[in-house]
Structure 1
Amino acid sequence: MRFRLKLQVTILPFIILPILLAGIIYSKVGRGMLMERKSEILQLRLDSVYRFAEAEYDYLNSLSLGSSSFFNKKSWESVEQFASQLQNTGDPLFIIKENESQLDLSGGSGFKKGNLEPFQEKNITYFYYYKKFTNWNMILISGTEERSIYAPIDNATRIFILFSLINIFISIIIVFIISNKITKPMEKLTLLAKEMANNNLSIRAQISSNDEIGILSENLNIMVERLEESKKGLEEKVNVRTKELRDSLMELQITQEQLVESEKMAALGNLVAGVAHEINTPVGICITATSFVIEETESIKQKYNSNSMTKLLFESYLNRIDDTSTLIFSNLSRAAGLIKSFKNIATDQTSEEKRNFKILEYTNDILKSLHYKFKRTNIEVVIKCKEEILMSSYPGAISQVFTNLLLNSLIHGFEHIDNGQIIIEIIKIDEYIKILYRDNGQGMIEKDLKKIFEPFFTTKRGSGGSGLGMNIVYNLVTQTLGGSIQCSSRVDKGINITILIPINIS
């Protein structure tokens, strides 16, 4: 529709303007030519009467009758009669006495425009020539009405305007017909192109002519057919590629799950190593003390059998046995406590079951399980919790979160740093627990901080790092524990991690 309107607006001025311009030129040129022609006629009439008057005057003089008023009057009447024969209706030709003239006829002859009153009607404009005949003191005047000069061209102009309007009207109709004939097929092709753009490739353009529009329609149909074939081929390729990607994604998920399990097993292995290392000391003390008890008992038994045992020796033996028994009991109690803590954490990490537990007590158990990692360092771990909070959640997930955070600080944050501090602050906020974890280690650059939770991102790729630790932390916090986690860090300013999790998970 817009193209049709543009076409019509573009064509119509080229039809209408030449017609209007031709009419204006015709009117202007025609009026000038008519004026020039009428001026020549007026001059010829005036010259004819003037020459006739001269001829009459010369004839009287040749007869020596120029002084006779009678013959002068007769000759003048002949001149007036001659002038009346040349006069046309609306074109006055008359003779007046010079002393009776009320017109501004300065000079011997000339051309004037104006009225001829009192000799003619008022308010009528004339073009007229005048010439003085001094021999008889007469003035000859030849004029015509202005409207009579332009009447033919005005009539012709009106006829021209009428025919021009008819021509313009017919031209407009023709333009509309032609533009519709041109644009209708193009509008259909435009609608067809819109349908194709909307992924409807089943439609085809109708070929109703052999002109450019028909050729365009045919080529458009060929293009649509090729697009349809390409679409089908592309869909097949996409389906094949999608299947390959789906298979690759499945393999990747399986691999990631295996890596996560490997991380869990590695953590469990570290836990077992920690258990062995932590229990080794109290158990070793108990073995040594037990050996001492056995030796002392054997010694006192020999003295008893040889009747050499005295009351003082026996009392000394009882005191040593009592001290040793206390030492054994305290170390066995310590070992039992460690085993209990390790058992709880190991069970939680492998079972992934929800249960009720106290967060402060459980955090201390986690620290006990990692004590062997920190005891040969100058890194202090501080837990701040104003009140014991009973949670109903997944302790295994919390254990893995804390373990990964603490080991990350130890391995990455305090690399090449001898002294440091890790603070774990636990705050109860309504139905949530907010955990603020921070260390004063070497921190991270902004580029690495943006990727901290991405899977397989690690700065220790060549040193055995898998890049899954913080990704596991993120997934455990957001999915298993139903919370949120945020991390901020600056180089040489340590790291700050904020975790918000519900106290009771439904």
Structure 2
Amino acid sequence: MPLILVVDDQPSNIHALYQLLVDDCEVSMATSGAEALAFCAQQLPDLILLDVLMPEMSGYEVCDRLKADPRTRGVPVIFVTVQGSADDEAEGFAHGAVDYIPKPFVDVVVKARVRTQLALKLASESFARSQIELFQRDKLASVGRTIAGIAQELSSPLGNALISACTLQDDVAQLGGLAQAGQLRRSDLDKHLRVSEESVGLLLSNLQRALSIVDSFLQSTADNFGDQRRSFSLLELLHEVVAGLAPSLEAHQVGCELDVGDDLHLLSFRGALAKVLTTLIQNAVKHAYRETGGQVHLRVRPQGTDQLVITVQDHGIGMPPGVLGRVFDPFFSTRFGAQRSEPGLYIVRNLVTFALGGQIQVESTPGVGTTARLLLPMISPESRRLTS
């Protein structure tokens, strides 16, 4: 049976969740963040249901510590809390949670979301084991990460669709019972029609969301975006990228400062590099400066005779360690909502590694900002094309 760790400082909440899940899972309990971390140091649960508002150590801090530790990073965390606003949900996902259940919780919602996350974890682990046994190549490992990322991103809309379907099924059963007993009134029919309409609407919207995620992934994996290796001016490319982003920069009141020095000519994949730089600047615009404007600095310097370093730096809100450790996961974002369907830095790393033959590092400090650093060859290896 899967092992679930319930963490809450209120014994009544722990007892309610225990009674709800004990028939299908092995349930362990912790009444503080320290107890939860100590438990995970001894035994890894398959899923953690974590309260946010706890004395001494909040659920956010517990989640950050779990995500910063390579041993516990892969354990999915669902926040269960009275804080149920959109901003609270966004905060929870920013700290690395996979889902968010508001209190007072609904039994069918808790069961459906727990079942969804456990199924995704089992499928991901099964796939990872089979890949390790069959393949040892980097590109196939990348495929495994991609599938896990898609499954993670699809978990929320599919889980919500399942909840809507269960609600609709229960409502139809109640309506049928009233009709069979001859107790169906006009008011009952109107009520059930409203519930059915809402459930179908939620079901359709979440299924459409799932389809858009799949479509976004398919578009992002086109082979090098039709690019061919050729000689080009880096300075000219940078000006084109910034000019193309001008409307977005202006709308968010963000400036982009270029520090290039002498112009460099590369023999590389121009389209792939343009996509990388565009995505890095867009990330700074969308995520570093969420409420007020700011500045993005793009700096280019040669390194030796055959390499160059490109840095894209902002001085925005930065990222905590738990978030920074996941920035290259497929579809990961610090925001919850429609923007999370973008492949983001996952496809950037693939382009840098497999198309451009280089390396990428991201450094970030909360309240200080984020720096993405690219180390690229002046002449990219033609054989290292992105095909996955």
Shorter-chain TM range is 0.3 to 0.5
Larger radius of gyration: 1
Q: Which has the higher contact order (CA 8 A, sep 6+)?
A: 2
Specify which structure has the higher proportion of helix.
1
TM-score by length of 2: 0.42
